[in-house]
């Protein structure tokens, strides 16, 4: 009895040339980034047997995929099958005779044909950067003889694919469907489309594949909600963060001592902030099943979001006008006018600043580098113990927006990453454009009000549900390349 076959579970066997990207395709489709579970490797011959990869939702295995070593001698195998068939056009029965009688000379071909004989659908992976040589034509021919439902997958491993059209033409005649699937780059939408293609070619199992699609969608929506929840949690913690230390008369008397204490608190502040960021990123990586991506590994140097660089503050967060409007609590109505491009210039700066009221300060400070708020008063400690030095949060009104942007950019980078890759990666906070600048006035005002409450150290919990909804939309936008 083979361990990879189960009568009750529809199977799709993945075939193709060694190194075509069969394992990488499955790894990306099924989100497996662990070589111990599914080996993706440039060294041929590492998969020597058929390996089952079950698709399980709600405790039930709906379908399974079978990874194979791939074709080794397709031309010779094709000739042998032809010989066995004699004068007839070869068919499934001839493949059966071939598998039963010729496994010693053709171990790889018989291994990949066994599941086909048992009734598995076929996924044929090719790299269209390779010329369509006779070996490939032989593979295509053998698979066509099987008569099984079959899908051809073009997995372009390089940018240029000069033979793409000849591949398409040939595959079009021998397969039910041809699809492109970048094993190193496919995102959720493409994974979903591949699953849908299987449903189209194998209608006998449409029910079960349909259930898989529903479960995938439900799980994807749920993951985004969990990610948004983690983000609300992070922002609240980050914006209320303070570092503090007591100061006594000696500190008061010696400015250099006080300055040293302040510096130490600034460092501590940023370190804690980075730890909070890492914790949120790690939660996301767990939710999206990534093990080869590192969250920020070096909180001390704060590589992920270097708040101290001017570059960061030009690129991320709101622009000056958005910030002014958000700070003034100008929401849907006036905000919409600006979003539509009615234009601040036509109004004259004086008028605008006048109209902004409380937002003016925000506007004036918006473009500056963050200065860490230093608070000498703090709460008075017990008599005789002196006063407290409190550091944080940065005074720039753009601070929460830059922070949020840096998280959204990394969320998008995480979702860009295909599980079929086996190199290590680090999420880069400076890759990609600002996402918060795309926000409309209404949601911007919702976030600003909540940010302000957090910055004051009194997070307004009653606003959390709407904040959660705005963040959910922002995360969704980041998944689709910021649309
Ligand atoms: N750049 C790039 N490399 C790929 C792609 N698909 C597979 N590879 C690489 O090609 C090699 C063989 O891939 P693998 O999936 O193990 O091939 P298999 O023998 O068909 O299972 C590995 O080093 C992969 O990382 C791709 O789409 N793009
Ligand atoms: Mg493989």
What are the sequence ranges of the domains in the chain?
11-201, 223-479
51 forms beta bridges with: 67
- Region 43-56: mean pLDDT is 84
197 contacts: CB under 8 Å, gap ≥ 6? 151, 177, 179
- At 338 the pLDDT is 40
Ligand 1 centroid–CA 417 distance in Å is 15
Ligand showing the shortest atom-to-Cα distance for residue 40 = 1
Ligand 2 centroid–CA 43 distance in Å is 9
Q: How confident is the model at residue 397 (pLDDT cuts 50, 70, 90)?
A: confident
- Region 222-242: mean pLDDT is 97
Task: Give the phi and the psi of residue 160 in degrees, each rounded to 5.
Answer: -90, 135
Range name among 205-219, 236-250, 291-305, 349-363 with the lowest pLDDT average? 349-363
Q: How confident is the model at residue 266 (pLDDT cuts 50, 70, 90)?
A: confident
Residue nearest to ligand 1 atom 12, measured at CA: 19
62 and 101 in contact (C-beta within 8 Å)? no
CA angle at 411 for the pair 319 and 366, rounded to the nearest 5° = 15
| Tally: H helices and E strands in the chain | 18, 11
- At 320 the pLDDT is 78
- Cα–Cα dist 333/183, whole Å: 46
- At 343 the pLDDT is 36
- Cα–Cα dist 19/158, whole Å: 13
The average confidence (pLDDT) of the chain is 85
- At 386 the pLDDT is 62
Interval 241-264: pLDDT, tens: 999 888 887 877 888 888 888 888
Residue nearest to ligand 1 atom 26, measured at CA: 157
Q: Over the range 283-295, which residues count as b (16 or more CB within 10 Å of their CB) and which as e? A: bbbebbebeebbb
157 contacts: CB under 8 Å, gap ≥ 6? 21, 127, 129, 184
- At 251 the pLDDT is 78
What letter does residue 419 receive in the DSSP assignment? T
Residue nearest to ligand 1 atom 23, measured at CA: 42
- Region 131-158: mean pLDDT is 96
- Cα–Cα dist 150/152, whole Å: 7
Closest CA to 64 of 12, 123, 111, 21: 12
Residue nearest to ligand 1 atom 3, measured at CA: 157
Inform me whether the pLDDT recorded for 291 exceeds 60.
yes
Assessment of whether the complete model's pTM goes beyond 0.85 = yes
Q: Is 30 helix (H, G, I), strand (E, B) or coil?
A: coil
Ligand 1 centroid–CA 124 distance in Å is 14
Ligand 2 centroid–CA 123 distance in Å is 13
What element of type H or E holds 24?
A: helix 22-29
- Cα–Cα dist 213/343, whole Å: 46
Interval 314-326: pLDDT, tens: 788 888 788 878 7
- At 16 the pLDDT is 96
Inform me whether the pLDDT recorded for 123 exceeds 90.
yes
Ligand 1, pocket-test mutation among 179, 180, 183, most atoms within 8 A of CB: 183
Q: Is 425 helix (H, G, I), strand (E, B) or coil?
A: strand
Q: Over pLDDT 70: what percentage of the chain?
A: 83
Inform me whether the pLDDT recorded for 362 exceeds 50.
no
Inform me whether the pLDDT recorded for 406 exceeds 80.
yes
Ligand 2 centroid–CA 271 distance in Å is 43
Range name among 135-144, 276-285, 361-370 with the lowest pLDDT average? 361-370
Q: How confident is the model at residue 308 (pLDDT cuts 50, 70, 90)?
A: low
Which residue has better confidence, 313 or 482? 313
Instruction: Give the number of the atom of ligand 1 that is nearest the alpha carbon of residue 46.
Output: 19
Q: How confident is the model at residue 361 (pLDDT cuts 50, 70, 90)?
A: very low
Pocket of ligand 1 (CB under 6 A): 16, 18-24, 40-42, 70, 155, 157, 182-184, 422
Ligand 1, pocket-test mutation among 16, 17, 18, 19, most atoms within 8 A of CB: 19
Instruction: Give the number of the atom of ligand 1 that is nearest the alpha carbon of residue 421.
Output: 25
The end-to-end CA distance of the chain, in Å, is 51
Which residue has better confidence, 33 or 376? 33
CATH 3.40.50.300 for domain 11-201, yes or no, is: yes
What are the helix (H) ranges across 310-437? 310-315, 320-327, 332-339, 349-356, 359-365, 399-416
Ligand 2 centroid–CA 94 distance in Å is 27
- Cα–Cα dist 345/333, whole Å: 18
Ligand 2 centroid–CA 218 distance in Å is 30
Q: Over pLDDT 90: what percentage of the chain?
A: 62
Instruction: Give the number of the atom of ligand 1 that is nearest the alpha carbon of residue 16.
Output: 20
Interval 171-189: pLDDT, tens: 999 999 999 999 999 999 9
- Cα–Cα dist 225/252, whole Å: 49
Ligand showing the shortest atom-to-Cα distance for residue 19 = 1
Inform me whether the pLDDT recorded for 382 exceeds 60.
no
- At 481 the pLDDT is 58
Write the DSSP string, 340-369.
TT--SGGG-HHHHHHHHTTHHHHHHHTTSP
- Region 279-298: mean pLDDT is 88
Ligand showing the shortest atom-to-Cα distance for residue 43 = 1
Interval 324-355: pLDDT, tens: 787 765 443 333 334 333 333 333 333 333 34
Interval 426-465: pLDDT, tens: 887 777 889 999 999 999 999 999 999 999 999 999 999 9
Instruction: Give the number of the atom of ligand 1 that is nearest the alpha carbon of residue 125.
Output: 20
Ligand 1 centroid–CA 182 distance in Å is 10
Inform me whether the pLDDT recorded for 74 exceeds 90.
yes
């Amino acid at each position: 009895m083979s361990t990879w076959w189960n009568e009750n579970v529809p199977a799709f066997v993945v075939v193709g040339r060694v190194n075509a990207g069969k394992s990488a395709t499955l790894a990306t489709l099924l989100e497996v980034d662990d070589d111990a579970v599914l080996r993706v490797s440039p060294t041929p011959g590492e998969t020597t047997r058929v390996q089952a990869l079950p698709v399980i939702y709600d405790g039930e295995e709906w379908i399974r995929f079978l990874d194979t070593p791939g074709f080794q001698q397709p031309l010779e195998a094709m000739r042998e099958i032809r010989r066995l068939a004699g004068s007839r056009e070869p068919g499934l029965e001839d493949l059966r005779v071939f598998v039963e009688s010729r496994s010693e000379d053709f171990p790889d071909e018989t291994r990949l044909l066994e599941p086909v004989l048992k009734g598995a659908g076929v996924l044929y992976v090719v790299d269209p950067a390779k010329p369509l040589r006779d070996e490939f034509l032989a593979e295509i021919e053998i698979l066509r003889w099987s008569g099984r439902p079959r899908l051809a997958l073009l997995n372009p491993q390089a940018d240029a694919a000069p033979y793409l059209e000849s591949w398409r033409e040939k595959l079009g005649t021998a397969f039910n469907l041809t699809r492109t699937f970048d094993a190193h780059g496919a995102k959720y939408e493409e994974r979903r489309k591949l699953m849908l293609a299987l449903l189209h070619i194998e209608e006998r199992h449409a029910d079960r594949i349909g259930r898989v699609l529903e479960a995938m969608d439900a799980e994807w929506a749920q993951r985004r909600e969990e990610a948004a929840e983690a983000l609300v949690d992070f922002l609240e913690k980050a914006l209320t963060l303070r570092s503090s230390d007591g100061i006594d008369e000696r500190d008061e008397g010696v400015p250099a001592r006080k300055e040293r204490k302040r510096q130490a608190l600034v460092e501590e502040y940023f370190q804690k902030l980075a730890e909070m960021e890492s914790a949120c990123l790690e939660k996301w990586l767990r939710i999206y099943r990534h093990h080869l991506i590192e969250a920020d590994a070096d909180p001390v140097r704060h590589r992920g979001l270097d708040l101290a660089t001017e570059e960061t503050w030009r690129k991320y967060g709101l622009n000056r006008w958005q910030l002014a409007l958000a700070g003034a609590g100008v929401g849907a109505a006036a905000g919409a006018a600006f979003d539509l491009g009615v234009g601040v210039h036509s109004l004259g700066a004086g008028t605008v600043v006048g109209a902004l009221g409380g937002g003016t300060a925000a506007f004036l400070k918006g473009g500056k580098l963050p200065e860490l708020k230093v608070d000498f008063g703090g709460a008075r400690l017990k008599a005789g113990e002196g006063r407290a030095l409190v550091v944080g949060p940065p005074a720039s009104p753009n601070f929460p927006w830059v922070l949020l942007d840096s998280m959204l950019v990394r969320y998008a980078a995480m979702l860009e990453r295909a599980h079929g890759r086996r190199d290590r990666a680090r999420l880069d906070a400076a890759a990609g454009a600002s996402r918060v600048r795309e926000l409309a006035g209404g949601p911007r005002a919702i976030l600003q009000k909540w940010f302000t409450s957090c910055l004051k150290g009194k997070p307004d919990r009653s606003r959390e549900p709407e904040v959660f909804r705005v963040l959910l939309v922002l995360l969704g936008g980041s998944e689709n390349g910021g649309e």
